[in-house]
């Protein structure tokens, strides 16, 4: 059974979602806990700015019991109070599979059709696989999700326009500031999202870039000779007054510009327009209660309206995208069903082989070697022919019916005794 427990930008506000975000170290610790308990067979945890999703496989419990268990483990691990049921979605088998494929295709993103998510899904899958948390079911599932995402992007029009939160942030920055050539922009972070931001700002030809990061060498490689400087995370506050814009895509997992720091910043009179955009989760820029008119502050959830307007031109391809998703879901379920048939197929083959061997024992008595060999060859021929016929009928019976209730009957039916 494949299941999914998730929370995203549609079901919970940022202040709730950030409580359930995972670092790589936390993914290892939590996955180890789940597998050491012995109930969860495989697990992949996807944690991005807009979602935390736990994909897992298990066959020991009913679906509801598995979800209750996982919610309890999650609350204990994150040291949170139990959240309202509406914050989390729970999907099993086909629903879980289809959801992952929609996520990989960008159909479930805050920015409809975004490109960055498929890379994040791949990273989550590769990380969990390298750590030994996946086996055949989830490995095949995630590989098919990449296929679904690629097909949707190549065969529909959803890729038109802005297709990443990073580019959306830069677009918003450009709208609220002056001529790009006169701008000084600080980018916090040097990961994948920050790299996209920096690339877009260079394309705009902003006047100066300030890159703040824990590792200076990584930041310098991104600056790559462009006009600007590299600073440490502890220097962000000092450089804030001189920057027209700040875009934070930090992976620091902590607040870098607190509401107290910003309130002090507001006390210094300045007429310079400033825009601060935070696409980090957990947040790295806190919003004070009062913000001066010449300063704009956006967090990830504030980009929803911007994302909605940008998506309208691409949603014409939604119906076609959903058809592709359904096709790939069906392909995965056919493979999934064929795995469920393996014990029954083995029972058919073993049962017929058993009958053949037992009957040949009696036939060998009193017959020449040549007759025995001829009869054994003919017996093997009949056994294989009947086995193929039974297996063909079984597959036809299984097709379109993903319930395995009757497979136990088939296994018992073909457990022949001498």
CA distances for 40 relative to 29, 66, 67, 89, angstroms: 14, 9, 11, 18
Residue-by-residue pLDDT tens, the chain, 418 positions: 999 999 999 999 999 999 999 999 999 999 999 998 878 999 999 999 889 999 999 988 999 999 999 999 999 999 988 777 789 999 999 999 999 999 999 989 887 778 889 999 999 999 999 999 999 999 999 999 999 999 998 888 777 666 678 888 888 888 888 778 889 999 999 998 899 999 999 998 999 999 999 999 999 999 999 999 999 999 999 999 999 999 999 988 899 999 999 999 888 766 688 999 999 988 999 999 899 888 999 998 888 777 776 666 666 778 899 999 999 999 999 888 777 666 666 666 666 677 777 777 766 666 777 777 777 777 777 777 766 766 666 666 555 554 455 556 555 555 554 4
Looking at domain 2-161, its CATH architecture is: 2-Layer Sandwich (3.30)
Phi first, then psi, for residue 9 (nearest 5°) are -65, -20
How much is the pLDDT for 176?
Answer: 80
Q: What is the pTM of this model?
A: 0.74
Residue 343: per-residue pLDDT: 63
* Active site residue ranges: 49
- Taking alpha carbons only, the member of 227, 225, 236 closest to residue 206 is 227
Task: Report pLDDT for 180.
Answer: 86
Q: Are 55 and 129 within 8 A, CB to CB?
A: no
DSSP symbol at 82: P
CA distance 398 to 402: 7
165-308: CATH number: 3.40.50.720
Which pLDDT belongs to residue 402? 47
Cis peptide preceding 282, ω within 30 of 0: yes
- The domain segmentation of the chain, as residue ranges, is 2-161, 165-308, 333-413
Between CA 227 and CA 220 the distance in angstroms is 11
DSSP 263: H
CB 396, CB 405: distance < 8 Å: no
> What CA–CA distance (Å, rounded) separates 23 from 40?
20
Please, are residues 1 and 59 in contact by the beta-carbon 8 Å criterion? yes
Residue 139's pLDDT is 96
């Amino acid at each position: 059974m494949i299941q999914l427990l998730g929370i995203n930008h549609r079901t919970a506000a940022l202040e709730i979602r950030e409580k359930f975000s995972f670092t790589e170290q936390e993914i290892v610790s939590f996955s180890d806990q789940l597998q050491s308990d012995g109930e969860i067979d495989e697990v992949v945890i996807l944690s991005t700015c807009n979602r935390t999703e736990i994909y897992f496989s298990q066959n020991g419990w009913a679906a509801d019991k598995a979800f209750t268990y996982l919610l309890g483990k999650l609350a204990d691990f994150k040291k949170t109070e139990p959240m309202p049921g509406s914050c989390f979605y729970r999907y099993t088998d086909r629903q879980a599979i289809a959801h992952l494929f929609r996520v990989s295709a960008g159909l479930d993103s805050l920015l409809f059709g975004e490109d960055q998510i498929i890379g994040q899904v791949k990273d989550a899958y590769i990380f969990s696989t390298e750590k030994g948390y996946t086996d055949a079911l989830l490995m095949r599932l995630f590989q098919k999700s990449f296929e679904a995402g690629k097909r949707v992007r190549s065969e529909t029009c959803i890729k038109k326009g802005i297709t990443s939160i990073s580019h959306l942030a830069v677009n918003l920055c450009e709208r609220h500031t002056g001529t790009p050539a006169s701008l000084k922009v600080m980018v916090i972070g040097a990961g994948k999202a920050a790299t996209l931001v920096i690339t877009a700002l260079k394309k705009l030809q902003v006047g100066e870039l300030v890159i703040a990061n824990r590792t200076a060498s990584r930041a310098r490689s991104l600056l790559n000779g462009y006009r600007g400087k590299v600073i440490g995370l502890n220097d962000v506050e000092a450089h804030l007054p001189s920057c027209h814009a700040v875009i934070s895509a930090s992976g620091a997992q902590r607040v870098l510009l607190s509401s107290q720091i910003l309130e002090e910043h507001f006390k210094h009179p300045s007429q310079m327009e400033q825009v601060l955009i935070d696409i980090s989760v957990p947040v790295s820029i806190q919003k004070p209660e009062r913000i001066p008119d010449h300063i704009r502050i956006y967090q990830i959830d504030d980009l929803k309206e911007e994302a909605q307007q940008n998506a309208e031109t691409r949603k014409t391809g939604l119906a076609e995208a959903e058809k592709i998703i359904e096709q790939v879901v069906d392909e995965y379920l056919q493979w999934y069903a064929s795995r469920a048939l393996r014990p029954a197929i083995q029972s058919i083959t073993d049962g017929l082989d058993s009958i053949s061997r037992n009957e040949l024992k009696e036939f060998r008595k009193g017959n020449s070697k040549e007759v025995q060999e001829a009869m054994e060859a003919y017996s093997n021929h009949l056994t294989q022919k009947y086995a193929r016929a039974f297996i063909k009928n079984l597959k036809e019976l299984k097709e379109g019916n993903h319930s395995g209730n009757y497979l136990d009957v088939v296994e018992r039916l073909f457990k022949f005794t001498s």
